[in-house]
Structure formats: structure tokens, C-alpha cells
Amino acid sequence: MIELSLHILDVAQNSIRAKAKNLAINIEEQLSNDSYQIEFIDDGSGMSGEQLKKVTDPFFTTRKTRKVGLGIPLLKHTAEQTGGRFEIKSELGKGTRLTASLGLSHIDRPVLGDIAGTLMILANNEFSTEIKYHHKTENGTYIFDTEEIKKSLEDVPLSNPEIQLYLKEMIKENLEQIQISE
């Protein structure tokens, strides 16, 4: 994955496929302790202790179309190669919390990249999972909430190309105001 936004797109699909009603994606950039933390919190189906043990194994997946599951192992690898850590907690029937901490200034930390595009794809997910993106830096906080957007749009679908283009620009402009690092 060349960008963190691609990791986010990939890992967030797990929450959507776990039929979560709500998925929070929290990013926190901290210069003081050189950390770039990405957190996923969902209220989906969760995992059993047995599944949780295997989740970072690239040869474990719940899919039937193939025998490898690389999304989580790849994010874990990226976190660890930047001097960070990776943690996942889950409870069957309640949901999952996944935290990846990366080294903010580490040379191997990928850039965040096109997070606006990622959020647009996730927002139009097939199970109507609501996405709440929360990006915090020492310059401020930006929140993108699909529930709030849908309320503003009323009966106009979020999948409308004009709306998507507008929202992408809105996310980019707001993030530019607060982001410390790319």
C-alpha cells in the first residue's frame, strides 16, 4: 500500500463486512511524542478469541473467494516498520477496536494521501454503515460524519457524482487547515 488512506480503505471494509452500524476512524497526529495514530472502532459482529488470535496471520480470512487475508497484516507491518505498535481488541457481538500507532517522522511512514477519496468510497458502502472520521492534530480537529451529511442531503443520494466531488473538495480543504504532516 503506497498511502495510509489505502490501508484505511482496506481495513475499514472489514468493519463494513462485519455489518457495523457505526464505524469511527480516528487519526491523531502528535508532534510531542512523534506519533501518528490510526484507530478503527466499530459496533459490528466482532470476533471470537480464536479468530482474534489468527487475525494478523496472512493465511487467515473469512472470505470464501480466496485463502489469504492481507489487510490487517499489511497495516501491522507498516506500523511496526515505523517503530510503532499494533493492537486489536474484539468481542463477539459487540464490535472491534483496532489501533495502529506509527512513527510520525519515520522515513518509512507512508503519507496519508487521498483520504477524501477513501471516505467517499466508504461512505457509499453497501451495508449503510455510518462513517465518522475524526482527524486531530495540534492545529485543530476535523470531523466528517456521514450521518450528518445524509441529513443535509435529505433524499439526494450521497453517491451522486456532483455531491461526491463537492464533498471530496470539502474534506481536502478542511484537512489542509489542520494537517501537520502529509
Partner 1 sequence: MTKIKSLADLKKLKDEVQSKIKLREKGDHPENLVQIKVSMATCGIASGAKETMNYFIETLDNQGVDALVTQTGCMGYCYAEPTIELTIPGKEPVIYGFVDKVKAQEIIDKHVIKNELVDGIIPVNYKTIDD
The residue type of 66 is: R
Question: What CA–CA distance (Å, rounded) separates 155 from 15?
Answer: 26
Residue 44 in the binding site for partner 1 (CB under 8 A)? no
Cell of 179: 494537517
User: What are phi and psi for residue 80, nearest 5 degrees?
Assistant: -70, -35
Sheet containing strand 130-137, strands side by side? 85-91, 95-103, 35-42, 22-30, 130-137, 140-145
* Binding flags for partner 1, 98-127, as an x/- string (CB under 8 A): ----------------x--xx--x--xxx-
Do residues 158 and 150 make contact, with C-beta atoms less than 8 angstroms apart? yes
Nearer of residues 50 and 162 to partner 1, judged by Cβ: 162
Nearer of residues 30 and 168 to partner 1, judged by Cβ: 168
**Nearest distance in Å: CB 71, partner 1:** 5
**Nearest distance in Å: CB 11, partner 1:** 9
* Binding flags for partner 1, 52-81, as an x/- string (CB under 8 A): -----------xxxx--xxx--x-------
**Nearest distance in Å: CB 169, partner 1:** 6
Do residues 124 and 13 make contact, with C-beta atoms less than 8 angstroms apart? no
Question: What CA–CA distance (Å, rounded) separates 88 from 124?
Answer: 25
**Nearest distance in Å: CB 63, partner 1:** 6
**Site residues (CB under 8 A) for partner 1?**
1, 6, 9-10, 13, 17, 63-66, 69-71, 74, 114, 117-118, 121, 124-126, 148-149, 152-157, 159-167, 169-170, 173-174, 177
